[in-house]
Structure 1
Amino acid sequence: MAAGVHARRGFVLAAVAGGAESVLAWVRRMTPVGRQVALLVCSLAGVILGAALIARWAVGLAVIADSVLGVWLALYRDDGQRMPQVDGVVSHEAVLARFRAAP
């Protein structure tokens, strides 16, 4: 089975068997990326189920809006770090000289 299936099964078993304390312990053991994926899945499920309470067409709009927002956030996010810069421009002659000097 895939790792995601085991993670979901672990969450469900923890929720049913031990209550909130075991769910919190399970979440603390997750990696930061795993937590983000779990939050994303819960968010998407909430959006889709909330839209399903309205009407079938609302589910389509919710999925489209969630996809557009996800793409926008992925493309326009700013992590506060500067853009990668080239440390030094290597000229064509320098590359050829290094190639000629190689054994």
Structure 2
Amino acid sequence: MERITKLASQKAVVIFSKSSCGMSHAIKRLFYEQGVGPAIYELDEDTRGKEMEWALMRLGCNPSVPAVFVGGKFVGSANTVMTLHLNGSLKKMLRDAGALWL
């Protein structure tokens, strides 16, 4: 969990993902289309990926990926992020975290 917390606080937007996960790909694309360059950690390409995956599940992320952090705080997985995007609150969160300037 300590590694997750450390990595999540290093950039305004952090996404824990798996390279083979379709929902992870969709969420990464959503952020890119918003003009945000998130830090992305592919758990299936990390030697400690399984350990981080379990930590994300303990945090409440089920399925474990994609797991999105904005401003160092856990936002949620794909459903939560899409809901925030559709209701307009994701942009405000991104601006408040310094990920967006407009």
TM over 0.5: no
Higher relative contact order (CA 8 A, sep 6+): 2
For the pair shown, the structure with the greater C-alpha radius of gyration is 1
Q: Specify which structure has the higher proportion of strand.
A: 2
Please give the range of the TM-score, normalised by the shorter of the 2 chains: under 0.3
